[in-house]
Each structure stands twice: as structure tokens, then as C-alpha cells.
Amino acid sequence: MSRVPAAVGVIGGGRMGAGIAQVFLAAGARVAVVEAGGDAAQAAHNRIADGLEEAARRGKLDGDVATALGRLTLLDSPTELDPATGLVVEAVPERADLKAEVLRAAEAAVGPEAVLATNTSSLSVTELAAALERPARFLGLHFFNPVPASKLVEVVVAPETAPELVGTAGGWVRALGKTDVVVNDSPGFASSRLGVLLGLEAIRMLEEGVADAEAIDTAMELGYRHPMGPLRSTDLVGLDVRLAIAEYLHRTLGERFAPPQLLRDKVAAGELGRKTGRGFHTYD
Ligand SMILES: NC(=O)c1ccc[n+]([C@@H]2O[C@H](COP(=O)([O-])OP(=O)(O)OC[C@H]3O[C@@H](n4cnc5c(N)ncnc54)[C@H](O)[C@@H]3O)[C@@H](O)[C@H]2O)c1
């Protein structure tokens, strides 16, 4: 049975970073979270503490919250990471320049055997690798939101990733109680590429009047056992987020990802899904 590394660094303690820190703490690692300092560090600490409390309430935490939190430290910069850190996952905002900068700083702080990973949902792992001194020690670990409850992690392999890293990273994912799927670096990886395509086709069906939103979602939920239909899923992710991903996949993979006009219209009208109370469905 694989174990997670004894010391893990997480850069960015936002929605994803806090979840990633939480699951590694729960698996017994010492975790250093790098945040922009001041209020951001306190907010990250609170998110992680709240997440651990929630896990404990649901009976999903081995040990107690205080012990897990005792293994957490917050740092102001990746240059302060412990040289003995075995894995660093970056989860800063989706900007290639920012990600390259924090990954380079982390690489200079940790030992040559450490593994560096990006949690990017859409950027090229291959291009990020080009910013590093040791691209062989780098790969994508694409966690899903919310991290503690999601079972899947995509292990994204760039051409220069050392082959043995794939097995090592997969072992860590399984030690977190999650399932790894290995994907070669390409736009949208496996999950977004298929998920977004299904969502776009559902929107086109709505545009063409094939069926209403409820019928389209129910067809996939009951007919194909999807836990959530493609339009409900688009509402959950956010129509603006889906549109941005579709535009990127349209540019990189071609016409089949062209965003439907209805999606553009809804985003322009501020109907962004659950977060605004209205998307393809309405929410209280
Ligand atoms: N939200 C999702 O559903 C989701 C799912 C999978 C992957 N991702 C990816 O995860 C990454 C993070 O997304 P998120 O939703 O957690 O964003 P977020 O905005 O919630 O968190 C980003 C955090 O990074 C911090 N930060 C900014 N600059 C920093 C710096 N220089 N050093 C350290 N910390 C810094 C911010 O203060 C913030 O707390 C993105 O690449 C995103 O594409 C997001």
C-alpha cells in the first residue's frame, strides 16, 4: 500500500489548494501551504480547518482535527519550502506566467528528487514544464472540485515526464482514497474534453428545440446513469467557466467545440448557473 509523501507543499490555498491540503493532512502528511500572506493565509487556514471539521462530522477523518491541523504550516513564499518536501502541488489562479513563476521558485527550494505538479484544468503541462530546470520531475495532478468528495484525479503526463513518476503519483492518489487515470497532455485532458463536448451538444439540442432542459438531463441521468445531466452539470460548473473552456478547446481542437450562441447569450445576460440562481435551470 502506497503512502503519501511525508512532507507536501501546496502553493495557493484557495478552493482547490485548501482541499488538496486537507486530503494530504488527513492522509498523515505534513503540509506547508504557500499563500499570498496576511488575510489570504488566514482565509486558507480557515478553509482547511472547516474542511477537516466537516470530514470529522461525517466520520470521514481518521484521528482528530487538532492533530491534523498540527501538521499544517502556512508560508509566504515557495522559497521557504522545506528542502525535504517530497511533492509540491501548485493551485494558484489559472495564469501560465504565475504558475511558471511559483513552480520555478519551488523547484529551487526543494531537493532534486521532489516531484512538482500542477493542478491546472486547461493550461498545457508541456509548456509549463519548459519553464523548469528538471522537467522530468514534473506532471499534472488534476484534482476535482470539491477535492475531499471527488474520487477522480487525472495524472497528466508531458513528453518529458519521467515514466516512473506516473506510477509514483498514481500510488499517492490511491493512498488518498482516490482513483487515478493517466492521460497524455492534450487540451482538456480526458475529463473536460468529453464533459464539455456533451454539454455543448445538449445546449445545441436545446437551441434546436429537440427537448427541454429537464428532458435532456433526465435522458442522460436515467438512460445512461449519469449522476447529473449535461445541462445541470454546466449550471454547477458555471456557464462562464464552460464558455471559457469551450473557446480554448475550439481554438486548439477545432469546430466541434464551437460554443453555441445560446451559451454566449446566457453568459451575456448574467445567467451563469447555480451561482446566479439561473442557468439552464432555476435555483432558489
Ligand atoms: N475550481 C475548480 O473547480 C477547479 C477544478 C480543477 C482545477 N482547478 C484549477 O485549480 C487552480 C486554482 O483554482 P481555484 O478554484 O482553487 O482558485 P482560487 O482563486 O480559489 O484559489 C487560488 C489561490 O491562490 C492564491 N494565490 C494567488 N497568487 C498566489 C501566489 N503568488 N502565491 C501563492 N498563492 C497565491 C490566492 O490567494 C487564492 O487563495 C486553477 O489552476 C484552476 O484552473 C480549479
* CA of 113 relative to ligand 1 center, distance in Å: 25
* Angle subtended at Cα 105 by Cα 99 and Cα 110, rounded to the nearest 5 degrees: 120
229 CB less than 6 Å from ligand 1? Answer: no
The full set of domains in the chain, from first to last, is 7-184 (3.40.50.720), 190-276 (1.10.1040.10)
**pLDDT tens string for the chain (284 positions)?**
579 999 999 999 999 999 999 999 999 999 999 998 779 999 999 999 999 999 999 999 999 999 999 999 999 999 999 999 999 999 999 899 999 999 999 999 999 999 999 999 889 999 999 999 999 999 999 999 899 999 999 999 999 999 999 999 999 999 999 999 999 999 999 999 999 999 999 999 999 999 999 999 999 999 999 999 999 999 998 999 899 999 999 999 999 999 999 999 999 999 999 999 999 999 98
| Contact indicator for 254, 247 with CB cutoff of 8 Å | no
19 CB less than 6 Å from ligand 1? Answer: no
* CA of 142 relative to ligand 1 center, distance in Å: 12
Sign of the Cα pseudo-torsion (234, 236, 239, 243, in order): negative
Q: How far apart are the C-alpha atoms of 85 and 81, rounded to whole Å?
A: 7
* CA of 11 relative to ligand 1 center, distance in Å: 9
End-to-end CA distance of the chain: 45
State the residue for C-alpha cell 427537448.
211
- pTM for the model stands at 0.93
Q: How far apart are the C-alpha atoms of 123 and 129, rounded to whole Å?
A: 11
